[in-house]
Amino acid sequence: MRDTPRPQGTVGDTGSRPPQLRPGRALAHTPGASGSGSPHRSDSRSPQTPRGARRPDLDGRLGTTPPVPGRPTFLLGRRGLFGPLGFLGLPALLFALITWQVAAHGPLARADERLSDRLVHPDRVSELLADLGNVTVAVPVLAVVLGYVAWRARAAGRERWWLPSLATAALMALVPALIVPLKELVARPGPPVMGPGTGFYPSGHTATAVIAYGGAALMLIPWLRRAGARRALLIGCLALNLGVAFGLIRRGYHWPLDVAASWCLCTVLLVSLRLLLGRNGPQPK
């Protein structure tokens, strides 16, 4: 029979008594003591070997204490730089900068006018592309899409099925209420092709096209099951708006900054609409 209890840390130790020191055993070799070299540490001090150092995640980011691995969420959250609020702030800042330069006829506005002189070359194609931004063309397209989406949502039994279509229609009606006062306030003359007159900043045709075609795409995307169809819809929407912008600038209806400012303003409006619709519950996949 043993005279001393089994040492602490033995695999099969099930004794009820607390472990005791073996007679004559050096204190320096007790578990958890400083400089013991024992792998079974009982204190909370940080280890001194490289194996105990913090390891990065698989993609190179520093980890944090368990149980949640580290991930820099300040760029990815709803309030981050690349979240929806970030997409509101950047175009709003650009719109303010462009408006200031145009109103003060600053260096950016003068460079814009020199660029326009090189780009203007009226032809039939540019005129047809510019006409895609007319209210008589873009708004009926949006109306058809909104009617279809409302019908689908009601048939699917969704609560407040009317809200997405109503919100998008209200946003379309808001466009002239924003654009017309800005035109009067800035009073920018048009390109030489347009002759005398003011009220060309920002571009109303561009704003109409972006909200109409962009809003239609925003309404249709949740009802498309295939990723390829959603991608094709976004590409088509982008192509339409680029065509309108090209036609307006090429035909000489607007300066390039008139178009860019409308893009910035309408991006803010569309992102705001998306945030509003996101509160209406999950969309169908």
Report yes or no: 255 and 201 within 8 Å, Cβ to Cβ.
Answer: yes
pLDDT at 247: 97
pLDDT at 170: 97
Report yes or no: 65 and 52 within 8 Å, Cβ to Cβ.
Answer: no
pLDDT at 277: 84
Q: Alpha helices, DSSP H only, in the chain?
A: 84-104, 107-119, 124-131, 135-155, 163-186, 204-220, 227-251, 256-278
pLDDT at 88: 83
pLDDT at 280: 54
| Tokens of residue 258, six digits | 């008139």
Long-range contacts of range 74-79, CB-CB < 8 Å, 24 or more positions apart? none
The SS3 assignment for 8 reads coil
pLDDT at 278: 79
Query: Which mean pLDDT values do the consecutive 10-residue runs of the chain (285 residues) have?
Result: 48 49 48 47 50 46 44 40 67 96 96 94 94 96 97 92 95 96 95 91 97 96 93 96 97 97 96 83 45
